Amino acid sequence: MNARPVALVSDTRYYVGPHLAERFAERGFDLVLGDPDEALIRRLEGMGSRVVACVGHSNLSAPEDADALVRIALESFGRLDSAVMFSGQIVTGRFVNSTLDQLRHVLVGCVEAPYNFLRAVVPVMTAQESGQVLVITSATAARPSPGAPLYSSARAAATMLVRNVADEVARTGVQVNAIGTNFMDFPAFLKASGATDPEVRAKIESQVPMRRLGTMDEFSSFCMAFLDGTSRFTTGQFVAYAGGWA
């Protein structure tokens, strides 16, 4: 049995994945990572963590990928203390112009992926009677989002799924929470929003009460309160991380 706590980060190819892995390493965790690159593995091992790379299992829309991540964690370490995932499929446009195919498309990335992850992770943790799960969704789950009604609705569904799962397993000591982001400074958001243009970025930042975009460093640090074992009396919560927008 592994003596150090073990964390699973479902995808470390982009977004906050690499930053979360580093935060866990700083806190003395061994790691099971979805598709890490060699440079990240070397950094984490240099910080003292044992790292198990899960290659080709980051597509949580496929139930078998979620199951594989958990199976590899148990085969490698015999336990799983913390698990975090993010996913999503953005569909934009007005509701009156939307199609059923678009709705089905967004549900796969925004609802089925969290379902698959929770379905794989939670039974393992309830059997242990301990563990922390964090699902990263979107702040659009917390308020109507003009131009993205299907996406906002699907994210809200994922948030309610998290809250229901948390209620079901709370008596076992397992924590399940969600954080929803918006206006984050990372390449995919900048490209999709046009914020690579300084003038467009300034307009976008003007929509944020804090008048800036959030960083991956600060976001990953915020996530740790739900994952690193230092706070075990919060479950079933959704927190918007969007500079006061929600």
Q: Where are the domains of the chain?
A: 6-182+218-241
pLDDT of residue 89: 78
Angle formed at CA 53 by CA 216 and CA 124, multiple of 5 degrees? 90
pLDDT of residue 190: 86
Q: What is the pLDDT along the chain (246 residues), one digit of tens a residue?
A: 568 999 999 999 999 999 999 999 999 999 999 999 999 999 999 999 999 999 999 999 999 999 999 999 999 999 999 999 998 878 888 999 999 999 999 999 999 999 999 999 999 999 999 999 999 999 999 999 988 999 999 999 999 999 999 999 999 999 999 999 999 999 888 887 888 999 999 999 999 999 999 999 999 999 999 999 999 999 999 999 999 999
Lookup: tokens for 195:
């914020």
Strand partners, 82: 7, 132
- Provide the sign of the torsion angle of the four alpha carbons 9, 13, 19, 23, taken in this order: positive
pLDDT of residue 2: 63
Q: With beta carbons less than 8 A apart as the criterion, state whether 21 and 35 touch.
A: no
Residue range 6-182+218-241 in CATH 3.40.50.720: yes
**Euclidean distance between CA atoms 33 and 51, whole angstroms:** 7
| Long-range own/partner contacts, residues 146-150 (CB < 8 A, 24 or more apart) | 147/92, 147/93, 147/94, 148/90, 148/91, 148/92, 148/93, 149/94, 149/95, 149/98, 150/91, 150/95, 150/98, 150/102, 150/103, 150/106
pLDDT of residue 10: 97
pLDDT of residue 13: 95
* Residue whose C-alpha is closest to residue 64's, from 30, 6, 31, 112: 112
* Residue whose C-alpha is closest to residue 183's, from 243, 106, 246, 93: 243
**Euclidean distance between CA atoms 62 and 64, whole angstroms:** 5
